[in-house]
């Protein structure tokens, strides 16, 4: 079992790197969207979701953390989607694409690769 876990180390590194690239790609989109929204919106308009937008998407690292927490269960995805609704429905659609891609595709494929690699290593 220890050999199987050690053999998966390289694959784990690449999986984390790939997930980080996907997080970065979507984080740039959402952080840029917030910056555009702040530049275009009137400062006199009181938006109740503005505090959440700044909390979740105030900087690129915080945006990446928000996206990671959305995928891993650290924050409810609806809270993030609700904050994005005040920017545009397109950002909510992009967030749903991110969540679907991450949860249904990336994490399941990564899990399958690890299970397959562990089974091959154990059968040696």
- Tens of pLDDT, residues 42-87: 655 667 778 888 899 989 999 999 999 999 889 999 999 999 998 8
**Mean pLDDT across the chain:** 85
123: pLDDT strictly greater than 70: yes
Nearest to 87 by CA among 48, 39, 34, 32: 34
Task: Provide the pLDDT for residue 92.
Answer: 95
Q: What number is the average pLDDT over the span 15-20?
A: 87
Task: Provide the pLDDT for residue 103.
Answer: 86
Task: Provide the pLDDT for residue 50.
Answer: 83
pLDDT: is 30 or 110 the higher one? 30
- pTM score > 0.85 for this model? no
Q: What number is the average pLDDT over the span 86-101?
A: 92
Nearest to 12 by CA among 84, 98, 108, 110: 110
State the Cα–Cα distance between residues 1 and 20, nearest whole angstrom: 27
Nearest to 84 by CA among 56, 115, 120: 56
State the Cα–Cα distance between residues 63 and 22, nearest whole angstrom: 12
The answer to whether the beta carbons of residues 95 and 84 sit under 8 Å apart is yes
pLDDT: is 34 or 24 the higher one? 24
Q: What percent of the chain has pLDDT over 90?
A: 43
């Amino acid at each position: 079992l220890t050999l199987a876990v050690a053999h998966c180390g390289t694959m784990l590194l690449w999986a984390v790197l790939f997930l980080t690239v996907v997080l970065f790609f979507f984080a740039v989109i959402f952080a840029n969207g917030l910056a555009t929204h702040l530049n275009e919106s009137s400062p006199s308009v009181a938006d109740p979701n503005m505090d959440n937008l700044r909390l979740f998407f105030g900087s690129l690292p915080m945006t990446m953390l928000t996206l990671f927490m959305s995928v891993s269960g650290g924050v409810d995805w609806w809270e993030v989607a609700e904050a994005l609704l005040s920017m545009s429905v397109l950002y909510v659609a992009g967030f749903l694409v991110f969540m679907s891609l991450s949860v249904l595709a990336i994490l399941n494929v990564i899990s399958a690769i690890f299970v397959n690699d562990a089974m091959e290593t154990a059968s040696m």
